[in-house]
Protein backbone atom coordinates (compact mmCIF):
# COMPACT_ATOMS: atom_id res chain seq x y z
CA UNK A 1 0.00 0.00 0.00
CA UNK A 2 1.31 3.39 -1.02
CA UNK A 3 0.32 5.11 2.22
CA UNK A 4 2.15 2.44 4.21
CA UNK A 5 5.18 2.64 1.94
CA UNK A 6 5.35 6.40 2.40
CA UNK A 7 5.38 6.03 6.18
CA UNK A 8 7.84 3.14 6.37
CA UNK A 9 10.59 3.92 3.86
CA UNK A 10 13.80 2.08 4.71
CA UNK A 11 17.31 3.42 4.54
CA UNK A 12 20.58 1.58 4.18
CA UNK A 13 23.36 3.39 5.99
CA UNK A 14 23.47 3.15 9.80
CA UNK A 15 26.82 4.90 10.34
CA UNK A 16 25.38 8.42 10.06
CA UNK A 17 26.39 10.30 13.21
CA UNK A 18 23.96 13.20 13.53
CA UNK A 19 20.64 12.43 11.90
CA UNK A 20 17.69 10.08 12.23
CA UNK A 21 18.98 6.54 11.81
CA UNK A 22 17.00 3.85 10.06
CA UNK A 23 17.77 0.30 9.04
CA UNK A 24 17.31 -2.32 6.33
CA UNK A 25 15.05 -4.73 8.21
CA UNK A 26 15.95 -7.73 6.09
CA UNK A 27 19.37 -8.03 7.76
CA UNK A 28 22.26 -9.86 6.17
CA UNK A 29 22.58 -13.57 6.79
CA UNK A 30 24.73 -16.40 5.56
CA UNK A 31 28.05 -15.39 7.12
CA UNK A 32 27.68 -17.60 10.18
CA UNK A 33 27.39 -16.92 13.89
CA UNK A 34 29.76 -14.81 15.92
CA UNK A 35 30.67 -13.99 19.46
CA UNK A 36 33.06 -11.26 20.55
CA UNK A 37 34.24 -9.73 23.78
CA UNK A 38 34.36 -5.95 23.53
CA UNK A 39 36.79 -5.75 26.45
CA UNK A 40 39.52 -7.75 24.73
CA UNK A 41 39.83 -6.35 21.24
CA UNK A 42 40.26 -2.96 19.65
CA UNK A 43 37.97 -4.05 16.80
CA UNK A 44 34.94 -6.28 16.56
CA UNK A 45 35.65 -7.35 12.99
CA UNK A 46 37.90 -6.86 9.98
CA UNK A 47 36.64 -6.88 6.40
CA UNK A 48 39.37 -6.85 3.80
CA UNK A 49 41.46 -3.78 4.75
CA UNK A 50 38.65 -2.17 6.77
CA UNK A 51 38.50 -2.53 10.55
CA UNK A 52 35.18 -2.18 12.37
CA UNK A 53 36.16 -0.64 15.69
CA UNK A 54 34.42 -1.13 19.00
CA UNK A 55 33.40 2.52 18.97
CA UNK A 56 31.88 2.24 15.48
CA UNK A 57 29.93 -0.81 16.60
CA UNK A 58 28.75 0.87 19.81
CA UNK A 59 27.63 4.02 17.96
CA UNK A 60 25.81 2.05 15.25
CA UNK A 61 24.17 -0.21 17.86
CA UNK A 62 23.05 2.82 19.87
CA UNK A 63 21.56 4.41 16.75
CA UNK A 64 19.72 1.22 15.81
CA UNK A 65 18.50 0.70 19.38
CA UNK A 66 17.19 4.27 19.55
CA UNK A 67 15.49 3.92 16.17
CA UNK A 68 13.64 0.76 17.24
CA UNK A 69 12.85 2.25 20.64
CA UNK A 70 11.34 5.44 19.20
CA UNK A 71 9.68 4.17 16.01
CA UNK A 72 8.70 0.59 16.76
CA UNK A 73 8.38 0.19 20.54
CA UNK A 74 7.34 3.78 21.31
CA UNK A 75 9.92 4.21 24.09
CA UNK A 76 9.42 0.77 25.69
CA UNK A 77 12.30 -1.23 24.21
CA UNK A 78 14.31 -3.08 26.88
CA UNK A 79 17.81 -4.54 26.65
CA UNK A 80 16.27 -8.01 27.05
CA UNK A 81 13.99 -7.43 24.05
CA UNK A 82 16.93 -6.01 22.06
CA UNK A 83 18.81 -9.27 22.71
CA UNK A 84 15.79 -11.27 21.63
CA UNK A 85 15.65 -9.25 18.39
CA UNK A 86 19.43 -9.78 17.99
CA UNK A 87 20.04 -6.09 17.35
CA UNK A 88 23.74 -6.61 18.03
CA UNK A 89 24.00 -9.11 15.16
CA UNK A 90 21.90 -6.95 12.86
CA UNK A 91 24.22 -4.03 13.63
CA UNK A 92 27.41 -5.97 12.96
CA UNK A 93 26.03 -7.53 9.78
CA UNK A 94 25.11 -4.11 8.44
CA UNK A 95 28.53 -2.66 9.33
CA UNK A 96 30.15 -5.62 7.53
CA UNK A 97 27.96 -4.93 4.54
CA UNK A 98 29.10 -1.31 4.48
CA UNK A 99 32.74 -2.32 4.94
CA UNK A 100 32.50 -4.61 1.90
CA UNK A 101 31.24 -1.70 -0.20
CA UNK A 102 33.99 0.59 1.11
CA UNK A 103 36.65 -2.01 0.20
CA UNK A 104 35.17 -2.18 -3.28
CA UNK A 105 35.14 1.63 -3.57
CA UNK A 106 38.86 1.72 -2.71
CA UNK A 107 39.54 -1.03 -5.23
CA UNK A 108 37.88 1.10 -7.89
CA UNK A 109 40.15 3.98 -6.92
CA UNK A 110 37.42 6.08 -5.34
CA UNK A 111 38.33 8.56 -2.61
CA UNK A 112 36.95 11.57 -0.75
CA UNK A 113 38.50 14.97 -1.38
CA UNK A 114 38.98 17.67 1.22
CA UNK A 115 36.44 19.81 -0.63
CA UNK A 116 33.80 17.04 -0.56
CA UNK A 117 34.33 16.56 3.17
CA UNK A 118 34.03 20.30 3.82
CA UNK A 119 30.81 20.55 1.77
CA UNK A 120 29.29 17.66 3.70
CA UNK A 121 30.36 19.14 7.03
CA UNK A 122 28.98 22.59 6.17
CA UNK A 123 25.60 21.05 5.21
CA UNK A 124 24.94 19.46 8.62
CA UNK A 125 22.29 21.57 10.35
CA UNK A 126 23.37 20.53 13.84
CA UNK A 127 26.57 22.55 13.32
CA UNK A 128 24.84 25.64 11.92
CA UNK A 129 23.91 28.89 13.60
CA UNK A 130 21.38 31.02 11.74
CA UNK A 131 21.79 28.73 8.73
CA UNK A 132 25.60 29.10 8.61
CA UNK A 133 28.26 26.62 9.77
CA UNK A 134 29.63 27.66 13.15
CA UNK A 135 33.00 26.25 14.16
CA UNK A 136 32.41 26.77 17.90
CA UNK A 137 29.06 25.02 17.67
CA UNK A 138 30.74 22.17 15.78
CA UNK A 139 33.21 21.52 18.61
CA UNK A 140 30.51 22.02 21.23
CA UNK A 141 28.21 19.41 19.64
CA UNK A 142 31.05 16.92 19.24
CA UNK A 143 31.96 17.40 22.88
CA UNK A 144 28.37 16.74 23.91
CA UNK A 145 28.22 13.49 21.94
CA UNK A 146 31.78 12.58 23.06
CA UNK A 147 33.37 12.50 19.62
CA UNK A 148 36.79 13.70 18.54
CA UNK A 149 36.81 15.79 15.33
CA UNK A 150 39.11 13.33 13.51
CA UNK A 151 36.96 10.38 14.52
CA UNK A 152 33.80 12.17 13.38
CA UNK A 153 35.31 13.28 10.07
CA UNK A 154 36.62 9.77 9.33
CA UNK A 155 33.06 8.51 9.79
CA UNK A 156 31.80 11.25 7.51
CA UNK A 157 34.29 10.20 4.80
CA UNK A 158 32.90 6.68 4.94
CA UNK A 159 29.39 8.03 4.45
CA UNK A 160 30.45 10.04 1.41
CA UNK A 161 32.22 7.01 -0.03
CA UNK A 162 29.12 4.86 0.49
CA UNK A 163 27.01 7.51 -1.23
CA UNK A 164 29.39 7.45 -4.20
CA UNK A 165 29.35 3.67 -4.58
CA UNK A 166 25.57 3.64 -4.31
CA UNK A 167 25.32 6.18 -7.12
CA UNK A 168 27.13 3.69 -9.34
CA UNK A 169 24.49 1.10 -8.51
CA UNK A 170 21.57 3.42 -9.31
CA UNK A 171 19.65 2.81 -12.52
CA UNK A 172 16.87 4.97 -13.92
CA UNK A 173 13.41 3.41 -14.12
CA UNK A 174 12.04 2.43 -17.54
CA UNK A 175 8.52 3.34 -18.67
CA UNK A 176 7.49 -0.31 -18.80
CA UNK A 177 8.72 -0.85 -15.23
CA UNK A 178 6.84 2.19 -13.95
CA UNK A 179 3.68 1.01 -15.71
CA UNK A 180 3.98 -2.52 -14.28
CA UNK A 181 4.64 -1.27 -10.76
CA UNK A 182 1.89 1.35 -10.96
CA UNK A 183 -0.62 -1.12 -12.37
CA UNK A 184 0.03 -3.55 -9.52
CA UNK A 185 -0.45 -0.83 -6.92
CA UNK A 186 -3.23 1.19 -8.55
CA UNK A 187 -5.46 -1.49 -10.01
CA UNK A 188 -9.00 -0.37 -9.09
CA UNK A 189 -12.00 -2.52 -8.12
CA UNK A 190 -15.57 -1.30 -7.83
CA UNK A 191 -16.91 -2.67 -4.56
CA UNK A 192 -20.23 -3.43 -2.98
CA UNK A 193 -19.97 -4.09 0.77
CA UNK A 194 -22.29 -5.32 3.54
CA UNK A 195 -21.60 -5.88 7.23
CA UNK A 196 -22.90 -8.48 9.70
CA UNK A 197 -22.18 -7.41 13.31
CA UNK A 198 -21.31 -10.23 15.69
CA UNK A 199 -23.92 -8.80 18.07
CA UNK A 200 -26.53 -10.33 15.72
CA UNK A 201 -25.25 -13.78 16.70
CA UNK A 202 -26.80 -15.32 19.82
CA UNK A 203 -25.28 -18.38 21.48
CA UNK A 204 -25.67 -20.21 24.76
CA UNK A 205 -23.27 -22.51 26.58
CA UNK A 206 -23.92 -25.80 28.36
CA UNK A 207 -21.72 -26.95 31.24
CA UNK A 208 -20.83 -30.20 29.47
CA UNK A 209 -19.59 -28.45 26.31
CA UNK A 210 -17.61 -25.93 28.38
CA UNK A 211 -15.89 -28.78 30.22
CA UNK A 212 -15.30 -30.67 26.95
CA UNK A 213 -13.72 -27.55 25.41
CA UNK A 214 -11.43 -27.23 28.46
CA UNK A 215 -10.45 -30.92 28.24
CA UNK A 216 -9.49 -30.45 24.60
CA UNK A 217 -7.59 -27.19 25.17
CA UNK A 218 -6.41 -27.47 28.78
CA UNK A 219 -2.79 -26.78 27.83
CA UNK A 220 -3.91 -23.33 26.77
CA UNK A 221 -5.00 -22.52 30.34
CA UNK A 222 -1.80 -22.72 32.30
CA UNK A 223 -0.65 -21.45 35.65
CA UNK A 224 2.22 -19.11 34.80
CA UNK A 225 5.72 -20.25 35.82
CA UNK A 226 6.95 -18.75 39.06
CA UNK A 227 10.22 -18.59 40.95
CA UNK A 228 10.77 -18.80 44.69
CA UNK A 229 13.78 -16.66 45.51
CA UNK A 230 15.72 -15.44 48.49
CA UNK A 231 16.20 -11.70 48.23
CA UNK A 232 18.07 -8.68 49.53
CA UNK A 233 16.57 -5.27 48.77
CA UNK A 234 18.70 -2.15 48.61
CA UNK A 235 16.45 0.92 48.48
CA UNK A 236 17.41 4.49 47.70
CA UNK A 237 15.18 5.85 50.48
CA UNK A 238 17.82 5.39 53.18
CA UNK A 239 20.70 6.78 51.11
CA UNK A 240 21.78 10.33 51.85
CA UNK A 241 23.40 12.69 49.36
CA UNK A 242 25.19 15.87 50.43
CA UNK A 243 24.96 19.01 48.29
CA UNK A 244 28.72 18.91 47.69
CA UNK A 245 28.50 15.35 46.32
CA UNK A 246 25.56 16.28 44.11
CA UNK A 247 27.41 19.28 42.66
CA UNK A 248 30.53 17.21 41.93
CA UNK A 249 28.41 14.53 40.25
CA UNK A 250 26.59 17.18 38.21
CA UNK A 251 29.87 18.71 37.00
CA UNK A 252 31.01 15.33 35.67
CA UNK A 253 27.67 14.29 34.18
CA UNK A 254 25.90 17.56 33.32
CA UNK A 255 25.62 16.67 29.62
CA UNK A 256 22.89 14.22 30.74
CA UNK A 257 20.67 16.97 32.15
CA UNK A 258 19.13 18.93 29.30
CA UNK A 259 15.89 20.73 28.61
CA UNK A 260 13.62 20.12 25.62
CA UNK A 261 15.77 22.38 23.46
CA UNK A 262 18.87 20.31 24.20
CA UNK A 263 20.49 22.92 26.43
CA UNK A 264 22.22 21.82 29.65
CA UNK A 265 20.15 22.64 32.71
CA UNK A 266 21.73 24.65 35.55
CA UNK A 267 22.40 22.67 38.73
CA UNK A 268 19.42 24.06 40.67
CA UNK A 269 16.96 22.98 38.00
CA UNK A 270 18.58 19.58 37.58
CA UNK A 271 19.19 19.05 41.31
CA UNK A 272 16.33 16.63 42.05
CA UNK A 273 17.26 14.42 39.10
CA UNK A 274 20.96 14.59 40.00
CA UNK A 275 20.27 13.51 43.59
CA UNK A 276 18.05 10.67 42.40
CA UNK A 277 20.69 9.43 39.95
CA UNK A 278 23.43 9.67 42.57
CA UNK A 279 21.31 7.74 45.07
CA UNK A 280 20.83 4.97 42.52
CA UNK A 281 24.56 4.96 41.79
CA UNK A 282 25.33 4.53 45.50
CA UNK A 283 22.59 1.91 45.88
CA UNK A 284 24.04 -0.09 43.01
CA UNK A 285 27.48 -0.05 44.63
CA UNK A 286 26.00 -1.38 47.89
CA UNK A 287 23.96 -3.99 45.99
CA UNK A 288 27.07 -5.21 44.14
CA UNK A 289 28.88 -5.73 47.44
CA UNK A 290 25.92 -7.68 48.83
CA UNK A 291 25.74 -9.70 45.61
CA UNK A 292 29.39 -10.79 45.99
CA UNK A 293 28.93 -11.63 49.68
CA UNK A 294 25.75 -13.62 49.00
CA UNK A 295 27.39 -15.46 46.14
CA UNK A 296 30.34 -16.43 48.36
CA UNK A 297 27.98 -17.52 51.13
CA UNK A 298 29.23 -14.89 53.59
CA UNK A 299 25.77 -13.40 54.13
CA UNK A 300 22.20 -14.68 53.89
CA UNK A 301 19.19 -13.13 52.18
CA UNK A 302 16.68 -11.54 54.53
CA UNK A 303 13.50 -12.07 52.47
CA UNK A 304 11.70 -14.81 50.57
CA UNK A 305 9.73 -13.76 47.48
CA UNK A 306 7.74 -15.57 44.80
CA UNK A 307 8.00 -13.95 41.36
CA UNK A 308 5.29 -14.89 38.84
CA UNK A 309 5.54 -14.30 35.09
CA UNK A 310 2.84 -11.98 33.80
CA UNK A 311 2.09 -10.71 37.27
CA UNK A 312 5.32 -9.18 38.53
CA UNK A 313 7.35 -6.48 36.79
CA UNK A 314 10.67 -8.27 36.54
CA UNK A 315 13.21 -9.20 33.81
CA UNK A 316 12.26 -12.89 33.75
CA UNK A 317 14.69 -13.66 30.92
CA UNK A 318 17.45 -13.58 33.52
CA UNK A 319 15.61 -16.06 35.75
CA UNK A 320 14.87 -18.35 32.81
CA UNK A 321 18.59 -18.73 32.17
CA UNK A 322 19.41 -19.33 35.84
CA UNK A 323 19.72 -22.60 37.74
CA UNK A 324 18.71 -23.41 41.29
CA UNK A 325 21.20 -21.80 43.67
CA UNK A 326 22.36 -19.13 41.19
CA UNK A 327 22.76 -15.58 42.52
CA UNK A 328 21.77 -12.88 40.04
CA UNK A 329 23.57 -9.56 39.71
CA UNK A 330 21.66 -6.56 41.12
CA UNK A 331 18.43 -5.87 39.27
CA UNK A 332 17.22 -2.28 39.12
CA UNK A 333 13.78 -1.63 40.62
CA UNK A 334 11.66 1.53 40.93
CA UNK A 335 13.15 2.40 44.31
CA UNK A 336 16.50 0.62 44.31
CA UNK A 337 18.05 -2.75 43.52
CA UNK A 338 17.19 -6.37 44.18
CA UNK A 339 19.76 -9.12 44.71
CA UNK A 340 18.25 -12.59 44.47
CA UNK A 341 19.23 -16.22 44.86
CA UNK A 342 17.08 -18.70 42.93
CA UNK A 343 15.61 -21.32 45.21
CA UNK A 344 12.76 -23.15 43.43
CA UNK A 345 11.52 -23.06 39.81
CA UNK A 346 7.76 -23.70 39.66
CA UNK A 347 7.08 -24.93 36.13
CA UNK A 348 3.85 -23.99 34.33
CA UNK A 349 0.99 -26.50 34.66
CA UNK A 350 -2.65 -26.63 33.55
CA UNK A 351 -5.19 -24.85 35.75
CA UNK A 352 -7.90 -26.85 37.45
CA UNK A 353 -11.20 -26.65 35.61
CA UNK A 354 -12.86 -24.45 38.23
CA UNK A 355 -9.96 -21.98 38.11
CA UNK A 356 -9.92 -21.89 34.32
CA UNK A 357 -13.72 -21.92 33.86
CA UNK A 358 -14.26 -18.17 33.32
CA UNK A 359 -11.47 -18.03 30.70
CA UNK A 360 -12.79 -21.18 28.99
CA UNK A 361 -16.31 -19.76 28.78
CA UNK A 362 -15.03 -16.52 27.27
CA UNK A 363 -12.99 -18.34 24.61
CA UNK A 364 -15.74 -20.86 23.80
CA UNK A 365 -18.31 -18.09 23.47
CA UNK A 366 -16.06 -16.20 21.05
CA UNK A 367 -15.29 -19.39 19.10
CA UNK A 368 -18.98 -20.30 18.72
CA UNK A 369 -19.98 -16.77 17.76
CA UNK A 370 -17.26 -16.50 15.09
CA UNK A 371 -18.18 -19.95 13.72
CA UNK A 372 -21.87 -19.01 13.44
CA UNK A 373 -20.93 -15.59 12.03
CA UNK A 374 -18.93 -17.28 9.26
CA UNK A 375 -21.81 -19.67 8.52
CA UNK A 376 -24.18 -16.72 8.21
CA UNK A 377 -21.73 -14.87 5.93
CA UNK A 378 -21.52 -17.90 3.61
CA UNK A 379 -25.32 -18.18 3.39
CA UNK A 380 -25.83 -14.45 2.68
CA UNK A 381 -22.99 -14.12 0.16
CA UNK A 382 -24.89 -14.89 -3.06
CA UNK A 383 -27.85 -12.58 -2.47
CA UNK A 384 -26.64 -9.74 -0.23
CA UNK A 385 -27.35 -6.11 -1.08
CA UNK A 386 -24.63 -3.78 0.17
CA UNK A 387 -23.29 -0.25 -0.01
CA UNK A 388 -21.81 0.85 -3.34
CA UNK A 389 -18.29 2.01 -2.42
CA UNK A 390 -17.24 2.88 -5.97
CA UNK A 391 -13.79 2.25 -7.42
CA UNK A 392 -10.99 1.71 -4.87
CA UNK A 393 -7.28 0.95 -5.03
CA UNK A 394 -5.22 -0.79 -2.38
CA UNK A 395 -4.79 2.32 -0.23
CA UNK A 396 -8.24 3.91 -0.62
CA UNK A 397 -9.16 3.18 2.99
CA UNK A 398 -11.01 6.49 3.40
CA UNK A 399 -13.67 5.40 0.88
CA UNK A 400 -14.60 2.57 3.23
CA UNK A 401 -15.64 5.01 5.95
CA UNK A 402 -19.20 4.83 4.58
CA UNK A 403 -19.13 1.11 5.51
CA UNK A 404 -18.15 2.19 9.05
CA UNK A 405 -14.66 0.68 8.87
CA UNK A 406 -11.70 2.29 10.64
CA UNK A 407 -8.40 2.92 8.85
CA UNK A 408 -6.68 -0.30 9.99
CA UNK A 409 -9.76 -2.43 9.29
CA UNK A 410 -10.19 -0.87 5.84
CA UNK A 411 -6.54 -1.42 4.92
CA UNK A 412 -6.72 -5.03 6.16
CA UNK A 413 -9.85 -5.69 4.11
CA UNK A 414 -8.45 -4.04 0.96
CA UNK A 415 -5.24 -6.03 1.27
CA UNK A 416 -7.31 -9.22 1.46
CA UNK A 417 -9.46 -8.24 -1.53
CA UNK A 418 -6.51 -7.35 -3.76
CA UNK A 419 -4.66 -10.51 -2.73
CA UNK A 420 -7.62 -12.73 -3.62
CA UNK A 421 -8.79 -13.96 -7.02
CA UNK A 422 -12.44 -14.21 -5.93
CA UNK A 423 -15.11 -11.90 -7.35
CA UNK A 424 -17.16 -12.10 -4.16
CA UNK A 425 -16.26 -13.33 -0.72
CA UNK A 426 -16.27 -12.38 2.97
CA UNK A 427 -13.73 -11.35 5.60
CA UNK A 428 -14.10 -12.03 9.31
CA UNK A 429 -13.10 -9.47 11.94
CA UNK A 430 -13.45 -10.07 15.68
CA UNK A 431 -16.66 -8.04 15.88
CA UNK A 432 -18.16 -8.44 12.39
CA UNK A 433 -18.12 -10.14 9.02
CA UNK A 434 -17.72 -8.05 5.87
CA UNK A 435 -19.31 -9.32 2.65
CA UNK A 436 -17.90 -7.87 -0.56
CA UNK A 437 -18.56 -8.13 -4.27
CA UNK A 438 -16.42 -6.75 -7.12
CA UNK A 439 -18.87 -5.34 -9.65
CA UNK A 440 -16.35 -3.80 -12.06
CA UNK A 441 -12.59 -3.41 -12.49
CA UNK A 442 -10.07 -0.96 -13.97
CA UNK A 443 -6.59 -2.31 -14.59
CA UNK A 444 -4.94 1.08 -14.23
CA UNK A 445 -6.19 4.15 -12.41
CA UNK A 446 -4.60 6.81 -14.61
CA UNK A 447 -5.34 9.60 -12.14
CA UNK A 448 -3.53 7.74 -9.35
CA UNK A 449 -0.60 7.00 -11.65
CA UNK A 450 -0.14 10.68 -12.45
CA UNK A 451 -0.56 11.79 -8.82
CA UNK A 452 2.04 9.28 -7.59
CA UNK A 453 4.45 9.20 -10.51
CA UNK A 454 7.42 10.44 -8.45
CA UNK A 455 6.77 7.85 -5.75
CA UNK A 456 6.44 5.07 -8.34
CA UNK A 457 9.75 6.06 -9.95
CA UNK A 458 11.44 6.22 -6.56
CA UNK A 459 10.22 2.76 -5.57
CA UNK A 460 11.10 1.16 -8.90
CA UNK A 461 14.62 2.60 -8.73
CA UNK A 462 14.95 1.56 -5.10
CA UNK A 463 13.95 -2.02 -5.91
CA UNK A 464 16.44 -2.16 -8.78
CA UNK A 465 19.22 -0.70 -6.64
CA UNK A 466 18.52 -3.19 -3.83
CA UNK A 467 18.62 -6.13 -6.22
CA UNK A 468 21.92 -5.00 -7.76
CA UNK A 469 23.44 -4.21 -4.38
CA UNK A 470 22.48 -7.57 -2.86
CA UNK A 471 24.02 -9.40 -5.81
CA UNK A 472 27.20 -7.28 -5.48
CA UNK A 473 27.42 -7.88 -1.72
CA UNK A 474 27.25 -11.65 -2.29
CA UNK A 475 30.21 -11.41 -4.65
CA UNK A 476 32.21 -9.10 -2.38
CA UNK A 477 31.70 -11.43 0.59
CA UNK A 478 33.66 -14.04 -1.39
CA UNK A 479 36.33 -11.58 -2.50
CA UNK A 480 37.26 -9.94 0.81
CA UNK A 481 38.15 -11.86 3.95
CA UNK A 482 35.73 -11.33 6.84
CA UNK A 483 37.08 -11.90 10.34
CA UNK A 484 35.09 -11.62 13.54
CA UNK A 485 37.10 -11.25 16.71
CA UNK A 486 36.21 -13.39 19.72
Instruction: List pLDDT tens digits, range 83-101.
Output: 888 899 999 999 999 999 9
Q: Are 243 and 386 in contact (CB under 8 A)?
A: no
CA 423/CA 186 separation, integer angstroms: 18
Of the chain, the end-to-end C-alpha distance in Å amounts to 43
CA 322/CA 327 separation, integer angstroms: 8
129 SS3 class: strand
C-alpha triplet 109, 113, 119: angle, nearest 5°:
135
CA 144/CA 122 separation, integer angstroms: 19
CA 293/CA 236 separation, integer angstroms: 20
Residue 252 CB neighbour total at 10 angstroms: 8
CA 235/CA 284 separation, integer angstroms: 9
- Position 184 scores a pLDDT of 64
**Alpha-carbon separation of residue 403 from 188, 390, 409 (angstroms):** 18, 12, 11
- Position 25 scores a pLDDT of 31
DSSP secondary structure letter of residue 164: H
**Alpha-carbon separation of residue 50 from 221, 244, 359, 480 (angstroms):** 54, 47, 58, 10
Q: Which residues pair with 47 in a beta bridge?
A: 50, 482
Residue ranges with strand state E in 131-187: 132-133
DSSP secondary structure letter of residue 19: S
At what angle are helices 114-123 and 149-169 packed, to 10 degrees? Answer: 100
DSSP secondary structure letter of residue 406: -
Closest to 220 (Cα-Cα) out of 307, 347, 349: 349
Residues 6+ apart with CB under 8 A from 393: 185, 186, 187, 188, 445, 448
Query: DSSP H helical segments within 305-406, as ranges?
Result: 316-320, 353-380
Backbone angles phi, psi at 103, to 5 degrees: -55, -45
Q: Are 386 and 437 in contact (CB under 8 A)?
A: yes
Q: Are 178 and 349 in contact (CB under 8 A)?
A: no
- Position 446 scores a pLDDT of 67
Residues 6+ apart with CB under 8 A from 298: none
Backbone angles phi, psi at 233, to 5 degrees: -100, 135
Q: What distance separates the 2 farthest-apart alpha carbons in the chain?
A: 82
CA 89/CA 99 separation, integer angstroms: 15
C-alpha triplet 81, 86, 87: angle, nearest 5°:
85
Closest to 196 (Cα-Cα) out of 439, 440, 379: 379
DSSP track, 354-367: HHHHHHHHHHHHHH
Q: Are 235 and 335 in contact (CB under 8 A)?
A: yes
- Position 246 scores a pLDDT of 93
Closest to 186 (Cα-Cα) out of 485, 367, 484, 447: 447
CA 64/CA 200 separation, integer angstroms: 48
Q: Are 229 and 294 in contact (CB under 8 A)?
A: no
CA 13/CA 26 separation, integer angstroms: 13
CA 248/CA 53 separation, integer angstroms: 32
Q: Are 57 and 41 in contact (CB under 8 A)?
A: no
DSSP track, 280-317: HHHHHHHHHHHHHHHHTTSS--SEEEEEETTTS-S-HH
Closest to 440 (Cα-Cα) out of 190, 77, 219: 190
C-alpha triplet 401, 429, 85: angle, nearest 5°:
105
194 SS3 class: strand
pLDDT in tens, the chain (486 residues): 334 333 333 333 334 333 322 333 333 333 333 344 443 457 889 999 999 988 889 888 988 898 888 888 888 888 888 888 889 999 999 999 999 999 999 998 999 999 999 999 999 998 998 889 999 999 888 888 778 888 889 889 999 999 888 888 877 777 767 666 666 666 788 999 999 999 999 999 999 999 999 999 998 999 989 999 999 999 999 899 999 999 999 998 888 888 888 889 999 999 999 999 999 999 999 999 999 999 999 999 999 999 998 888 888 888 888 999 999 999 998 899 999 999 999 988 899 999 999 999 999 999 999 999 999 999 999 899 999 999 988 788 899 988 889 999 999 999 899 888 899 999 999 999 999 999 998 766 667 677 777 777 777 777 778 888 888 889 999 999 999 885
Amino acid sequence: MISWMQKHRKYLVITIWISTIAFVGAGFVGWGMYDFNLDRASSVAKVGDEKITIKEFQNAYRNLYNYYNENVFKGKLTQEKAKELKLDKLTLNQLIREALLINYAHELGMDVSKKELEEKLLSIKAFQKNGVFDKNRYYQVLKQIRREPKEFEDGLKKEILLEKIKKLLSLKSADVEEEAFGSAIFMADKLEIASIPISDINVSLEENETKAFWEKNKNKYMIAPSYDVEAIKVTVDDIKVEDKEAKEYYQNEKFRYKNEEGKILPFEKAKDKVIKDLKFKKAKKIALKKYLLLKKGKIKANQKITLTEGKDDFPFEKLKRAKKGDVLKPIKQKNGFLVIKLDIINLPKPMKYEDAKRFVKQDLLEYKKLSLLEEKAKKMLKNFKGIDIGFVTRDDYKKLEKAKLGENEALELLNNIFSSNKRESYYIFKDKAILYRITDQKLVDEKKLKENKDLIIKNVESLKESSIENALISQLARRYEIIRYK
